[in-house]
Amino acid sequence: MVAPMEVTIFERSPKVLAKVAVSGGGRCNCTNSFRDVTDLSRVYPRGHRLMKRLFKTFDYKDAYHWFEQHGVRLTTQEDQCVFPLSQNSHTIINMFLAEARQHGINIQTGHPIHSLNDLSNFDFVVVTTGGQPQEKELQWLQQETIKTVPSLFTFNIDDPKLQALMGTVIEHVTVMIPGTKLKANGPLLITHWGMSGPSILRLSSYAARLLADNQYKLPLSVNWASHTEAEVQQELSEIIACHPQKQVTSIRPYAMPTRLWEYLAEKCLSNRAYYKWKDLNQKEMNRLTNLLVNDTYMIAGRSPFKDEFVTCGGISLNAIDPTTLESKTKPGVFFAGEVLDIDGVTGGFNFQAAWTTAYTVSKAIANRSR
């Protein structure tokens, strides 16, 4: 049996769990069903090998059961994101605080730590400071670190006509960085500053370092149809065969949103976008096909993804024991959550990494205290 421990949480901010409060639009996307995940590297661009190892002890199923066993009923959406049934992040916050009170955990807010020497009177130290946008914020830990850069952000696109379509959602697109293998699929949202949505956020995660190295100015390719060139050619040929007398802008391939199709048709065909389908020549058809499959924009910068700031980088995974997450150079010091060089795409994966690494550390400390 594990002897009771005295546990103190030091929180720099005025409140604990502030990130939980704002996540998922205030609903807290606490994990994911992982039903559609066949390769962890697609949801954990950094740290997938370690996550695969740790999942053998505590994975998303364990997290789901743990929350429900502690009074938080959960629900899984169609996109496989898991939220509290209450749709309120404070359901989770209140549960954690109640657990802390029940176990006599001392929480000290507004209490920053500047050096590990400040914690020398503790037998074990667990660092869960989250992602740090500036690498200097990690220097006090005296550990090998990987340069931190932002992840999970939206793209600024300097195109007023595109921005005028703000609020338009396209459910199935493929976005990629030309000249690389970096691409992502899913919904895309056009905003007043450019592009957002799951596909863009995923791509920003995959390309986090590449984009940072290029000052967030790179070309972006959008396949609006998420189909091959041959498939798009077939779709347009069928439209011509069935609707030869219809105006090009009036018949939308793949049931594309009306405003978006008008924008794309005008961008490609200019005033001929208002001609009949039968009047388009082969060169124009080829241009239209290419636009639907490989429409190119220039990323002009990045915008944060609401308040959910995620960083790529942190404590190097080479600096810790992969079984316990204990520092190799500072015995008794452990790391969990985003402070590690582990980060995921949007969809509950970052919180799952937090739960899994926290469980791993807790188990290691409990075993050490027997």
Checking if the pLDDT of 55 tops 70, the result is yes
State the pLDDT confidence band at 136, using cuts at 50, 70 and 90.
confident
φ, ψ dihedrals at 223, nearest 5°: -95, 95
| pLDDT tens by residue, 122-131 | 999 999 998 8
**pLDDT per position as a tens digit, 307-335:** 557 899 999 999 999 999 999 999 999 99
User: Residue 226 above 70 pLDDT?
Assistant: yes
pLDDT in tens, 343-370: 999 999 999 999 999 999 999 999 998 7
pLDDT digits (tens, 9 = 90+) for 3-46: 678 999 999 999 999 989 988 889 999 999 999 999 999 999 99
Mean pLDDT for 273-295 is: 95
Q: Has residue 1 got a pLDDT over 80?
A: no
Q: What percent of the chain has pLDDT over 70?
A: 98
- Of 4 and 184, the structure prediction assigns the larger pLDDT to 184
User: What is residue 308's predicted lDDT score, i.e. its pLDDT?
Assistant: 55
Report the pLDDT value the prediction gives residue 132, as an integer from 0 to 100.
80
